[in-house]
A and B are shown apart, each in its own frame.
Chain A
């Protein structure tokens, strides 16, 4: 069963009020939602709070939920709407941003923008920004796949047409550089 097929089964369970299905759905989709949210705003706390809130609302109205074809897409849209609404509240140009977002003109944040953006400490932000410049684009891409997207070395190797060993070594070397520069 693919992940989406599982999600659909859990969704149906949720509609019947089954808590286990509900929690399984959360487990299945949590990181997908958080990553999706981070591409909209590099505010990890807001993203995580909205994901919790989204699931809370699902539970609250479980008996009124309709069947959906694509659970992930449905949840992505809901999360996006929530985030945009929250972001609008904190922005002076809220109306403009909301409108922009509705028209889907907002650009997705890049991996580098996200990891620098979620750091609260200005000094660390600067260090991270400089450290990333010391890495090759290929190193950054592999780090993104492994650390952000959560792929295994095997999946990375398959996707980038190289051996597992090479993928591992590339990342290991990058970690040595980062550890030194982020001290």
Chain B
């Protein structure tokens, strides 16, 4: 039977047409692509046949398209790994250089008989309550419950890292995202099909797939980030008091949730910092520092930005008050940390460490300037 007299029923009953729909047979795919192009008059019958097929096939999808997306994701993932570098560089070498001639009695590896606890301790206690922009007030974060419409997941699709220090996933559009611990990504309805929007709570490194008809938009509680093919890190832990978007490649536009007209376009090696409302001390500060643009803090030794040190499996602290360090440890390890003393919060430390437990991290901090801490149930309490 001549295919040009085919009806929708004929198409859908044709084995090779079905293989074309499934993407399971290269020859069939090539044939039908060409044939459909050459017979525009049959477009209506063909699309009716495709519709019928998709219904009866229960939307199993097209294996070729799915495979292409996976290939793209894998490619990005391998590139991402190459970009951020893998652990295992010569740490002692770096530490010596970083010390930069400063005499630091505590510089050195703390080895307590545990070979796996590779410490890189170089804590420097810095006095001075210098204009501490980061007033990390214990932000009261009201956990807004996700609108539950189970079991229909089409409303949203959630990915959580939980206590895992890092979790990498490939999104339906081929973008690769590495989640820090205690991070949640919620994909909006129809992600990858009718749009590319998602919501982030926590921290993640994004390598966004190019193209697509839809811009890639990340929402956080304070800002929206719009992307067109790029590599960037977004730090938006609700309890942190600020939201940071750091750009490594491509271009992103950051806008304030409350004031969408306040938009800022970032170019590579720049980051935007937004201080959450409620954590800003005085109204004067609000005007200037609501949305700030600053350069990335690049490590002089390995030339990698400290903003993504977490992907490389370590926490890097540069002259930060203990309050903000505690907030980071809290995010990293997923355990609440509270203070019983205000002065301790302002103690400042610097250093980089890779560690197995939060307790060991705090012990290392104690070495350079003492404070006390104890673990009670599931909370760490820091005092003088």
Contact = CB atoms under 8 A, between A and B. Distances in A.
Contact of A23 (B8, B9, B67, B169): B67
A182 interface: yes
Nearest to A168: B13
A132 to B, nearest CB: 10
Contacts of B152: 43, 90
Lowest 10 A-B CB distances belong to which pairs? A147-B56, A44-B59, A90-B150, A175-B9, A91-B150, A56-B170, A30-B63, A34-B60, A115-B58, A114-B58
Contacts, number: 127
A150 B19 CA distance: 9
A119 B59 CA distance: 9
Contacts of A31: 22, 24, 60, 63
B12 interface: yes
Contacts of A51: 66
Contacts of B168: 56, 60
A38 B58 contact: yes
8 contacts: A30-B67, A38-B58, A45-B157, A60-B77, A90-B148, A90-B151, A146-B18, A182-B51
A55 B74 CA distance: 10
B22 A179 contact: no
A120 interface: yes
Contacts of B51: 182
Interface of A: 19, 22-23, 26-27, 30-31, 34-35, 38, 41-46, 48-49, 51-53, 55-56, 59-60, 86-87, 89-92, 111, 114-115, 118-120, 124, 128, 143, 146-148, 150, 152-153, 168, 171-172, 175-176, 178-179, 182
Contacts of B61: 34, 44, 48
Nearest to B152: A43
A38 to B, nearest CB: 6
Contacts of B150: 90-92
B74 A46 contact: no
A176 B9 contact: yes
Contacts of B69: 52
B277 interface: no
B12 A175 contact: yes
Given A90-B148, A92-B148, A179-B48, A19 B158 contact: no
A26 B153 contact: no
Nearest to A115: B58
A55 B70 contact: yes
Given A87-B151, A175-B13, A26 B60 contact: no
Given A44-B60, A92-B148, A92-B150, A179 B9 contact: yes
B66 A152 contact: no
B52 interface: yes
B169 A56 contact: yes
Given A23-B71, A30-B63, A56-B74, A46 B153 contact: yes
A103 B74 CA distance: 34
Contact of B157 (A42, A49, A172): A49
Contacts of A179: 8-9, 48, 52
Contacts of A172: 9, 13
A24 to B, nearest CB: 10
B30 interface: no
A175 B152 CA distance: 29
Nearest to A93: B150
Given A30-B66, A38-B58, A148-B57, A153 B15 contact: yes
Nearest to A50: B157
Contacts of B73: 52, 56
Nearest to A172: B13
B250 interface: no
A26 B67 contact: yes
Interface in B152-202: 152-154, 157-158, 160, 168-170, 172
A23 B68 CA distance: 10
A139 to B, nearest CB: 11
B275 interface: no
B55 interface: yes
Contacts of B20: none
B288 to A, nearest CB: 41
B53 interface: yes
Given A56-B77, A148-B58, A179-B52, 7 more contacts: A44-B58, A56-B168, A59-B77, A89-B158, A90-B158, A172-B9, A178-B56
